[in-house]
Amino acid sequence: MEKLTCDRETAEWRKSSWSGPDGGNCVEVAELGGGRRGVRDSKQVAQPVLVFPAAEWRAFVGGLKVRRIGC
């Protein structure tokens, strides 16, 4: 667990391009060690981070792309 904590604290968090400029619901994503991705609320950075293994993150992003194209 110590490695994950270190990854979280040193990660470069970037705001989702879907987050609006009005300061509303903002999601941030960071690359963590081992291909994992962390997801957090930008207004609650001290709260727990959702961590996705690499394969699950690829499936999630792939699903978003399919939904976006299909709209």
Domain ranges of the chain: 2-70
CA dihedral 25, 18, 31, 61 (to 10 degrees): 120
Please give the model's pTM, rounded to 2 decimal places: 0.71
- 38-67 tens-digit pLDDT: 999 888 888 889 999 999 999 988 888 776
What is the overall mean pLDDT for the chain? 79
Q: CB of 31 within 8 A of CB of 61?
A: no
In this prediction, residue 53 carries a pLDDT of: 94
